[in-house]
Amino acid sequence: MRVLGVDPGLTRCGVGVVEGVAGRPLTMRGVGVVRTPADAELGLRLVVIEQGIEQWLDEYEPEVVAVERVFSQHNVRTVMGTAQASAVAMLCAARRGLTVALHTPSEVKAAVTGSGRADKAQVGAMVTRLLRLDAPPRPADAADALALAICHIWRAPAQNRLQQAVAQNRLQQAAALHASKPASHHASKGRTA
């Protein structure tokens, strides 16, 4: 599985591509940051992010795009910019028919470091170790994007099994409901007296 991880942000949008399957060594295919000028108009900044993500999608052709789920922060302005960049990443993926997976920061930290409260340095150190890199990717947004991709690769098999089990359960419930309806109700509809 090849996953493009996106750590959304208006000024620095981290992007990283990881390939592999759960239980096997993973390979980094690319890592970087899409940057926008802080003094530029918002619409232009979003266009720059879109163009950057489109370039990554063209070059690496991922199967899935894993985006950090935006959560409430104290700084509303920061969370709005993050949400807008996140929406651009999801739009780019959806336009191509790619699966979009959202992971919270604590899910990513727990998957990569074993602790949902890990700091950026710990995440960077584990990403470096897991991908057998010479040094942690800089800036931290780039390391976070790789961590998102790793998290998705490791969590996807369990999530898929869970989704299949839920779908199977719903199907069984629908079949049981249909079977419990009286057959005479269906047969009497077409008759006239």
Active site residue 41: no
Whole-prediction pTM value?
0.82
CA-CA-CA-CA torsion for 123, 127, 133, 136, nearest 10 degrees? -20
Q: In the prediction, which pLDDT does 139 show?
A: 94
Q: Which of 19, 39, 54, 68 is catalytic?
A: 68
Q: What is the mean pLDDT of residues 92-117?
A: 94
Confidence at 107, pLDDT banded by 50, 70, 90: very high
Q: Which of 19, 39, 63, 141 is catalytic?
A: 141
Q: In the prediction, which pLDDT does 178 show?
A: 79
Percent of the chain residues past pLDDT 90, beyond the cut: 72
Active site residue 68: yes
Active site residue 7: yes
Q: In the prediction, which pLDDT does 193 show?
A: 47
DSSP string, 25-70: --EEEEEEEEE--TTS-HHHHHHHHHHHHHHHHHHH--SEEEEEPP
Residue 165 scores a pLDDT above 80: no
Give yes or no for a contact between 79 and 113, defined as CB atoms under 8 angstroms apart: no
Q: How many helices (H) and strands (E) does the chain have?
A: 6, 5
